[in-house]
């Protein structure tokens, strides 16, 4: 162990600890900007400098390891003067647009300016003028607000292994962007939005589609329905100021009704439907010698990743559309017929923890109802914004229930939001369908948690089913490379694009870090346990849907509405 003194207090820490982490132990909060725990520790911005006795210069605390006998002062007048100077230099090349910025009041740079009491921008230097990239349906990049911290590069390169961004040029002219300043819509970016989650400022944000939704709600001709993704109920609270892990299911439903949606439905319903379609697809592949392992297809960022980087493995993808895209066509066919509404008048809104869903709903093949199946997707962050605009105080809203029939769901649908949830939900159903027996313990703990690659073998009748579960695209790569090498003998693989699954998706409330992801996961399984039904095949609304409309899983109608094809895209095209 290492002994040192920080601000006149003795601290004992493990070797290799940074000064920044050691200081946290004695309650000294050193400001940071480029630093991001476990992700980006590069010492670029120097806002975290401290005084170390005997050192000739000030030392950046985020990268400097502690040493035996070190004497550190974290807040001398000199230190504060230098930090303030650094901040002023950053601000001199930053647009002063806080009032109209998506990150207003949730921006690390703005917060630093407030903490340091910046009253004026002293340096009127030249400003870099790089154009905004609004080519993507999912995220918008505004390099003028970029502080060059490189967190986005770290997450895109090291966590997602997409590497859509790089630092171009040097010094003042540095630009964080794709090579040749290519547009995000025209290259391998999978639209996952993980960069928007870690960006300290408004330099990468979700595309704000709230205006479209307000317009639809104001249109008396439109029948506006909404579906809410599994993860949104364990996220919305945070967007409105509640503690991470808060569950806001009933309040979210109530709030959506107050906003004026004609029907409040649930993506959990089509998550249950996905299990029936996908479970049967798996059984069919196993019994008829189809392509195995089969890989889940719920996550549009993952689909785009596979299309770019592993086009040779596209046959492994389940042909099932994602729950969001199963919902859209059902609303505009099944529900429209049932309620006798012209599908042309139905406006279908999704609330998703995901930016890639914005991209997914615009894919040309997502028109199987004869209309664009899902008209617009809002992230959890945008829904939070709508609640605020409408003055809805969620904590004072009553608990309300989803509308029938597309709002009826089970715990299996709910856990789709967490890594391992699709697999667990599938196992609950496949086991009972194949064996005809009731599962004694439906909690498949091996599927749960944040581990990057989880593996298990589950005995289903006389078949030992080998499964793998990955979250974060870098982890997916490990398993995909095994398939390519012919070394993977799994039957079924769940891949979720974002770390932790959808509860950590790119449209989640900010901040989203490992601790917060874990709290949302716990909340997800709490919701699951609260449900009276916890197996997809027991969902009465799904049973009725098959009886009244679809016929049987993988039947003709299902193929037409609920299954899809993929496109080989490649890289550098």
Partner 1 sequence: MVACASNASNDELIKQLDKIIDPYRGNPGGLIQVLTKAQNLVGYLPKWVQIQIAEGLGVSLQEVYGVITFYTFFSLIPRGRHKISVCAGTACYVKGTKMVTTTIKDLLDLKPGQTTPDSRFTLEIVRCIGACGLAPAMIIDGKDVHGRLEPELIPAVLEQYA
Would you say 37 and 159 are in contact if contact means Cβ atoms under 8 Å apart?
A: no
Token readout for 132 is 């905004």
The catalytic position among 97, 337, 365, 560 is: 365
Site for ligand SF4 in 163-192 (CB under 6 A): 164-165, 176, 189-192
Distances from the Cα of 115 to the Cα of 83, 87, 212, angstroms: 11, 11, 36
Query: Given 101, 152, 199, 298, which residue is catalytic?
Result: 298
Query: Taking CB within 5 to 8 Å according to partner kind, which of ligand SF4, partner 1, ligand FES, none is near residue 277?
Result: none
- Candidates 97, 315, 339, 404; binder of ligand SF4 (CB under 6 A) is 97
Q: Two tokens at 107? A: 């921006």
397 lies in the site for ligand SF4, by CB under 6 A: no
Q: Contacting ligand FES (CB under 6 A), which of 19, 45, 213, 446?
A: 45
Beta bridge partners of 346: 223
Q: 532: Cβ–Cβ under 8 A, 6 or more apart, which residues?
A: none
Which CB sits closer to ligand FES, 74 or 228? 74
8 makes contact, choosing from ligand FES, ligand SF4, partner 1, none, with CB < 5 to 8 Å by partner type, with none
Q: Rounded to whole angstroms, what are the CA distances from 311 to 129, 143, 316? A: 37, 32, 10
Structure-token match 């086009």, residue found: 311
Q: Is 89 in the site for partner 1 (CB under 8 A)?
A: no
Identify the bridge partners of residue 29 per DSSP, sorted by sequence position. Answer: none
Query: Binding residue for ligand SF4 (CB under 6 A) from 160, 296, 369, 524?
Result: 160
Tell me whether residue 108 or residue 528 sits nearer to ligand SF4 (CB atom): 108
> 147 touches which of partner 1, ligand SF4, ligand FES, none (CB within 5 to 8 A by kind)?
ligand SF4
> Considering only CA atoms, which of 516, 526, 499 is closest in space to residue 248?
526
Determine which one of 424, 502, 508, 536 is catalytic.
502
Mark whether 307 is an active-site residue. Answer: no
> Site residues for ligand SF4, window 100-119 (CB under 6 A)?
101, 103-104, 107, 109-110
Give the three-class secondary structure for 316: helix
Cβ(376)–Cβ(207) below 8 Å: no
Work out which of 33, 82, 286, 397 binds ligand FES, going by CB under 6 A: 33
Return all residues near 83 (Cβ < 8 A) that are at least 6 apart.
Answer: 31, 47, 48, 49, 116
Per CB under 6 A, 203 contacts ligand SF4: yes
Q: Is 180 in the site for partner 1 (CB under 8 A)?
A: yes
> Is residue 498 classed exposed, middle or buried when 0-12, 13-18 and 19+ CB atoms within 10 A define those classes?
buried
138 Cβ contact list (under 8 Å, min separation 6): 191, 193, 206, 207, 355, 356, 358, 359, 506
Q: Closest approach of Cβ 165 to partner 1, in Å? A: 6
Residues 228, 525, 490, 267: what is their CA dihedral angle, to the nearest 10 degrees?
-10
Residue count, binding to partner 1 (CB under 8 A): 18
Give me the helices (H) in 438-495, please: 473-484
Q: Among 193, 279, 384, 507, which residue sits at the site for ligand SF4 (rule: CB under 6 A)? A: 193
User: Could you tell me the smallest distance in angstroms from the CB atom of residue 254 to ligand SF4?
Assistant: 31
- Select the residue interacting with ligand SF4 from 18, 32, 74, 194 (CB under 6 A): 194
For the four alpha carbons of 11, 13, 18 and 23, in that order, the dihedral sign comes to negative
Q: Which does 45 bind (CB under 5 to 8 A by kind): ligand FES, partner 1, ligand SF4, none?
A: ligand FES
Element housing 83 (H / E): helix 77-92
CA pair distance 162, 150, nearest whole angstrom: 15
501 touches, from ligand FES, ligand SF4, partner 1, none (C-beta below 5 to 8 Å by class): none
> Which of the stretches 68-76, 128-136, 158-166, 426-434 binds partner 1 when contact is defined by CB under 8 A?
158-166
Phi, psi values for residue 68, rounded to 5°:
-55, 130
Residue 39 CB: number of other CB atoms within 10 A?
A: 17
318 an active-site residue? Answer: yes
Q: Which of 246, 318, 369, 508 is catalytic?
A: 318
Q: Minimum distance from CB of 208 to ligand SF4 (Å)?
A: 13
Confirm if 280 and 431 have CB atoms less than 8 A apart.
Answer: no
Do residues 159 and 213 make contact, with C-beta atoms less than 8 angstroms apart?
no
- Reply yes or no on whether 238 is catalytic: no
363 part of the interface to ligand SF4, by CB under 6 A: no
Q: Is 288 exposed, middle or buried (0-12, 13-18, 19+ CB in 10 A)?
A: exposed
Q: Which of residues 437-496 bind partner 1 (CB under 8 A)?
A: none
34 binds ligand FES (CB under 6 A): yes
Say which entry of ligand FES, partner 1, ligand SF4, none residue 205 contacts (CB below 5 to 8 A, set by partner kind): none
Q: Which of 108, 238, 277, 281 is catalytic?
A: 281
Site for ligand FES (CB under 6 A): which residue of 6, 13, 28, 44? Answer: 44
**Cβ atoms of 35 and 62 closer than 8 Å:** yes
Q: Is 198 in the site for ligand FES (CB under 6 A)?
A: no
Q: Is 199 a catalytic residue?
A: no
Which sign does the torsion angle of CA 343, 344, 345, 346 carry?
A: positive
Q: Is 189 helix (H, G, I), strand (E, B) or coil?
A: coil
* 298 labelled catalytic: yes
Beta strand pairing status for 139-141 and 2-6?
unpaired
Which of residues 26, 98, 118, 166 is near partner 1 by CB under 8 A? 166
Q: Which of 30, 70, 152, 458 touches ligand SF4 (CB under 6 A)? A: 152
Tell me if residue 278 is catalytic. yes
- Tell the smallest beta-carbon distance from residue 45 to ligand FES (Å): 3
The residues annotated with a catalytic role in the active site are 278, 281, 298, 318, 357, 360, 365, 502
Contact residues for ligand FES (CB under 6 A)? 32-35, 43-48, 60, 62
Contact residues for partner 1 (CB under 8 A)? 125-126, 163-172, 178-180, 188, 571-572
């Amino acid at each position: 162990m290492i002994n040192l003194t920080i601000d006149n207090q003795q601290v004992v820490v493990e070797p290799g600890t940074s000064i920044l982490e050691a200081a946290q132990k004695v309650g000294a909060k050193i400001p940071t900007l480029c630093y991001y725990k476990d992700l980006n520790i590069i010492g670029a911005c120097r806002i975290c400098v401290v005084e170390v006795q005997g050192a000739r210069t000030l030392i950046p605390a985020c990268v400097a390891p502690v040493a035996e006998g070190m004497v550190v002062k974290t807040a001398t007048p000199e230190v504060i003067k230098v930090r303030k100077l650094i901040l002023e230099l950053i601000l001199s090349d930053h647009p002063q647009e806080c009032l109209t910025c998506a990150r207003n009041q949730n921006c690390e740079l703005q917060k630093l300016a407030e903490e340091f009491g910046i009253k004026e921008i002293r340096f009127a230097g030249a400003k870099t003028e790089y154009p905004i990239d609004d080519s993507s349906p999912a995220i918008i990049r505004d390099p003028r607000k970029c502080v060059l911290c490189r967190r986005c590069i770290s997450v895109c390169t090291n966590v997602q292994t997409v590497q859509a961004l790089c630092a171009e040029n040097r010094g003042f002219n540095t630009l964080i962007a794709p090579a040749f300043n290519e547009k995000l819509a025209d290259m391998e970016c999978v639209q996952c939005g993980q960069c928007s989650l870690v960006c300290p400022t408004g330099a990468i944000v979700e595309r704000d589609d709230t205006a479209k939704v307000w317009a639809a709600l104001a249109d008396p001709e439109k029948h506006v329905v909404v579906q809410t993704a599994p993860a949104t109920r364990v996220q919305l609270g945070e967007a409105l100021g509640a503690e991470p892990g808060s569950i806001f299911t009933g309040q979210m439903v109530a709030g959506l009704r107050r906003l004026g949606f004609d029907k409040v439905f649930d993506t959990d319903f089509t998550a249950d439907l996905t299990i029936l379609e996908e479970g049967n697809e798996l059984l069919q592949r196993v019994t008829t010698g189809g392509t195995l392992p089969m890989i889940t297809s719920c996550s549009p960022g993952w689909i785009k990743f596979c299309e770019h980087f592993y086009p040779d493995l596209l046959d492994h993808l389940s042909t099932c559309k994602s729950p969001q895209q199963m919902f859209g066509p059902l609303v505009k066919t099944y529900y429209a017929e049932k309620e006798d509404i012209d599908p042309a008048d139905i406006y279908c809104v999704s609330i998703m923890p995901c930016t890639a869903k914005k991209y997914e709903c615009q894919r040309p093949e997502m028109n199987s109802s004869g209309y664009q199946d899902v008209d617009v997707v809002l992230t959890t962050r945008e829904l939070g914004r709508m609640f605020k605009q409408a003055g809805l105080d969620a904590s004072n809203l009553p608990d309300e229930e989803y509308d029938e029939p597309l709002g009826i769901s089970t715990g299996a649908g709910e856990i789709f939001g967490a890594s391992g949830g699709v697999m667990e939900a599938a196992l609950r159903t496949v086991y009972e369908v194949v064996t005809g027996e009731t599962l004694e313990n439906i909690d498949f703990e091996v599927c749960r948690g944040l581990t990057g690659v989880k593996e298990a073998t589950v005995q289903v009748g006389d078949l030992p089913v080998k499964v793998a579960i990955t979250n974060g695209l870098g982890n997916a790569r490990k398993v995909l490379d095994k398939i390519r090498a012919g070394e993977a003998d799994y039957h079924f693989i769940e891949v979720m694009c974002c770390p932790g699954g959808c509860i950590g998706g790119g449209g989640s409330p900010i901040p989203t870090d490992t601790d917060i992801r874990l709290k949302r996961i716990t909340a997800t399984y709490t919701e699951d346990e609260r449900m009276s039904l916890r197996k997809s095949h027991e969902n009465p609304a799904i049973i009725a849907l098959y009886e009244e409309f679809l016929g049987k899983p993988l039947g003709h109608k299902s193929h037409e509405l609920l299954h899809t094809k993929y496109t080989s895209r490649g890289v550098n095209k």
